[in-house]
Chains A and B, each alone.
Chain A
Amino acid sequence: MRNIVLARIDDRLIHGQIVTSWCKLKNADVILIADEKLPQDTFQQRLLKAAAPPGITVEIRDLAGSAEYLKQEDAGQKPIILLTKTPQMMEALIAQGVQLGSINLGGMGAKAGRSQLNKNISASPEEIASFDRLMQSGIEIYYQLVPAERSTNLRNILKGEK
């Protein structure tokens, strides 16, 4: 099992918060983006690789490829940031045997089918169901945009909603 220092759900993937704060705080060497569509989209791949900070490798893989990559042994224990756009992808990775203790919820933008949970998070009913399953399986999901902000447990955010 490789060394995942941060597992984050953020549909903007690599952007200012990742580049200017998380990568530095976590000393990440690798950003792994797990997504079913991106591996076929060469434009987006080039863009995401170009956006990463100097010295950081970007891996873009589909579900099976990501799970396989994460489950490999790494003697060097290189710190990895795992990014997905949705909670379902995190669930699928766990189903494939990837171990995660906690998940950072970074940003899910408003769009059709999603309702707003808090300032920066909107989710569809399917996504909320996925959050629930993840939390029931004992995984802590916390909302935190950047390290300088306080983190909030997703349970409290969902409670506020109901």
Chain B
Amino acid sequence: MTLTQALILGLLYYLANSPWPFGGLGNYAIIYRPMVLGLVVGFILGDPVTGTIIGATINLMYIGFISAGGSMPADMSLAGILGTALAISQGLEMNAALAVAVPLGLLGALVWVGKLTFNTVFVRLADRYVEEGKPEKVWIANILLPQMVLFLITAVPCFLAAYYGAGAIADLIASLGGNFLRILSIIGGMLPAVGIGMMLLAIYKGPARIFFFLGFLAAAFLGLKTLPLALIFLGITLLYIELKEGKDEGQAVEDVPIAETGALKASKLLEPKDVRSAWWKWMYYFQSAYNYERMQGIGFLHSMSPVLSRLYKDDPEEMKAAMRRHVEFFNTENATGSAVIGLAAAMEEQKKLGADLTDEAFTSIKTGLMGPLAGVGDTIWQAVMIPLMIVLFLGPAREGNIGAPILYSALFFALYYAYGYWLLKLGYNKGSEAILNLMENKAINKVIVGAGIMGAAVMGGLVSQYVNVKTAIQFPMGGEKVFSLQTDFFDALVPGLLSLLLTLGAYALLKRGWKAQYVILLVIAIAVIGGLVGIF
């Protein structure tokens, strides 16, 4: 690896954790994912096809990872970058690369904690800008300084690890010999069971359980790949939902005219571009200065700055009061939170027009909405859409199709921003009642249930294709003949049965409250011991 390549990898790790180029959760769903990072690292190191294959393999581990409310179990971006870089530059085979990447991901979670702890410092700075009544300066506390810190704690260590670490790890593996490499490969073949087990934790219930087995059997016996499997089960799921839940008609969101919501009057104080500018700031920088004290408080204030500048530029006292009410503790899901930005902009406008809206009214509506909206938003995006879309494109990516991560990224970006913009408009034009009506709409639940069922089927297929547990046990049958437990028994019975059992075992432990890290360690221990004594 050249110095330049290592430097670019460091920069890439920074970008994966920064708001650029796709925005807050846009980045988190796109260039934070090993499947996409694999392609980018592959380009940097001159082998995009291998990069995509390795990235997709590493991504298997992280399908079920959810970061909700400021928690982060592991850093899949570091695992994706360094794992892929190691595999390409040192010629490591993909299962071995996965086995090396997973501990790196656990290490990377420290960066997250460090960031949220350090960013607390910028709360003091933001508070100072509030007391000065200067919304135009908030970007310094929200973007400039936190991003400089983030650059230091991400780009520098990743560069060092890539430049000096890759060779050292490869030398170590080489010196330990072929048996070690074989065991690494066994570990890598078994680990995806834990990743899939984590995903099952979210979707394995009710009818989805049957669909999980159906998906597994379809892949095991018919050899169906992920995409055809997903399409077939999409049809079956739609049919199922229609038959099962078709009766309780989800009522459409009613267009409640502004006058009927009582609170809001039509008005023209804000230019459309003010609201749009607030929204873009929210989509990109909502979590740029994420910290343990106020969470997204600075980001919310920064987003509101175009609105506040327009409304209160000639009224310093009211400006300070307005800034104070938006720098408070706030924490929600990015795209769904667009509705709150729209609503808060509309409320500020109404207040300026003379509506009787106290600070208390702002706080209670913001804090009231943020939890429930995060509940719905995290479910839709983190628990359903991102894993489902990743799973759909993972199959082709794993076979070296570099179009898969690109198409995934484009599709996600378009959906995500269309959804966010729609909610912004809903919050701004129609107010809180419309947000409530939307949340009460049963159609959202139908989509979630349907996606869970279809997702379970595809996860079943993934187990068959990508979890790789094979026993090496053989019995001499006299003469040249041997009876191989794997090929003569399991493969003849149900191909991939051991992989299925391992996945269900990992799921059962997670379900009993085991931490993912411990399940990973247990699987590694089983692989190592089994590999040494000749079971695998």
Contact = CB atoms under 8 A, between A and B. Distances in A.
Interface of A: 12-21, 24-25, 43-44, 46-55, 107, 109-111, 116, 118-120, 145-150
A148 B73 contact: yes
Q: Which of B68, B205, B368, B372 has the most CB of A within 10 A?
A: B372
Contacts of B376: 19, 50-51
B4 interface: no
A86 B219 CA distance: 50
B436 A145 contact: no
A116 B368 CA distance: 21
Contacts of B329: 109-111
Contact of A15 (B293, B374, B383): B374
A17 B68 contact: yes
Nearest to A23: B375
B474 interface: no
A15 B294 CA distance: 17
B378 A47 contact: no
Interface stretch (B139-147, B393-401, B511-519): B511-519
B201 interface: yes
Contacts of A49: 440
Given A46-B440, A50-B439, A110-B329, A16 B368 contact: no
Nearest to B452: A54
B66 A145 contact: no
B499 interface: no
Contact of A19 (B293, B295, B368, B378): B378
A31 B73 CA distance: 25
Contacts of B294: 110
B403 interface: no
A15 B292 contact: no
Given A20-B382, A43-B368, A51-B439, A145 B70 contact: yes
A50 B378 contact: no
Given A51-B439, A149-B73, A20 B66 contact: yes
Contacts of A21: 66, 68, 201
A150 B449 CA distance: 30
12 contacts: A15-B332, A16-B378, A19-B378, A20-B68, A47-B369, A51-B376, A55-B206, A116-B293, A120-B69, A147-B515, A148-B73, A149-B515
Given A43-B368, A43-B432, A44-B368, A18 B375 contact: yes
B333 A16 contact: yes
Contacts, number: 121
B370 interface: yes
Contact of B368 (A17, A25, A47, A147): A47
Contacts of B295: 109
A13 B332 CA distance: 13
B116 interface: yes
Contacts of B445: 54
B202 interface: yes
B372 A17 contact: no
A46 B70 CA distance: 25
Interface in B336-383: 367-379, 382-383
B311 to A, nearest CB: 25
B71 interface: yes
Contact of B372 (A47, A119, A148): A47
A133 B65 CA distance: 37
Given A145-B71, A147-B515, 18 more contacts: A14-B372, A15-B372, A16-B379, A16-B382, A19-B378, A21-B201, A24-B202, A46-B436, A50-B440, A53-B375, A54-B448, A109-B295, A110-B293, A110-B329, A116-B293, A120-B70, A146-B69, A150-B515
B202 A20 contact: yes
B208 to A, nearest CB: 12
Given A20-B202, A50-B436, A14 B68 contact: no
A12 B71 contact: no
A25 B201 contact: yes
Give the 3 A-B residue pairs with the shortest CB-CB distance, closest first. A51-B372, A16-B378, A15-B371
B328 interface: yes
Contacts of A111: 328-329
Interface in B428-450: 432, 436, 439-440, 445, 448-449
A146 B370 CA distance: 18
B331 interface: yes
Contacts of B436: 43, 46-47, 50
Nearest to A12: B371
A116 B375 CA distance: 25
Interface string B64-85: 0010111101000000000000
A116 B331 CA distance: 17
Given A20-B382, A116-B293, A146 B68 contact: yes
Nearest to A10: B371
Given A15-B372, A48-B372, A150-B515, A107 B448 contact: no
A148 B379 contact: no
Given A54-B445, A148-B516, A15 B70 contact: no
A162 B353 CA distance: 49
Given A50-B439, A116-B293, A147-B513, A16 B369 contact: no
